[in-house]
Amino acid sequence: MGRPRTNDEAVKERLVECATEMLATRPRESVSVRAVAAAAEASTTAVYSLFGGKNGLIGAVRDRAVAGLFRDVSAVQTSADPLADLYALAVAYRRWGRGHSHLYTVLFGGVQAFDPSGEVGASDPIRPLLAAIDRALTASVLAGDATAIALSIWATLHGLVTLELAGALDATTAEAAFRSSIHATLRGWTTAEVFRGLRQAELAR
């Protein structure tokens, strides 16, 4: 059994949950310390004592989102097929986004900016993707710049997940679009030899 949570931990959890929902559904500037505290049935003093203020609370929401996405994509097992690994990472990304829609919206809606040219931290969700791309480049499965490939995959993924979460795609369409778009994006970065093999396999089906 885990240790029981203290009152401060319980209040902190409620504040983060309420802030997450409000940041995902309202303009950021309208999310005040008072509004979050009221929604969490806590005092404004608690926000300052536990997080140091509004920016600290927003940072806690961001950290939860980053940690959750990193945990899920890092759990993807490495195989002998780099393309299969990249597709599995895309599946994990989409699954996390669908299961944590508010955190996803906050993470990619202004609180966290994606900087493909920035330094990748040890717990950055992009790290498993870059590692898989490096394996594919080493195996001569993909050809190109690793950062450009990562950005291409992420842009495709983000667009698909954002449309799905917004309700713009029904379940059947979302599934088909995800499968075809991710495969097409990956195929577009493959070496000529791998590309020919993939196309021949598709035509033979």
Pair 98, 173 in one domain: yes
Phi/psi for 97 (5° steps) reads -60, -40
* Burial of 23 from C-beta contacts in 10 A (0-12 / 13-18 / 19+): buried
Which amino acid appears at position 97 of this protein? G
In a domain, 57, yes or no: no
* Closest CA relative to residue 39, chosen from 56, 22, 64: 22
Pair 123, 193 in one domain: yes
Phi/psi for 202 (5° steps) reads -65, -45
* Residue range 87-116, pLDDT digits in tens: 999 999 999 999 999 999 988 875 444 454
Rounded Cα–Cα distance for residues 155 and 21 (Å): 24
* Residue range 129-170, pLDDT digits in tens: 999 999 999 999 999 999 999 999 999 999 999 999 999 999
Q: Residue 132: which domain range?
A: 64-204
Rounded Cα–Cα distance for residues 143 and 86 (Å): 14
Pair 7, 82 in one domain: no
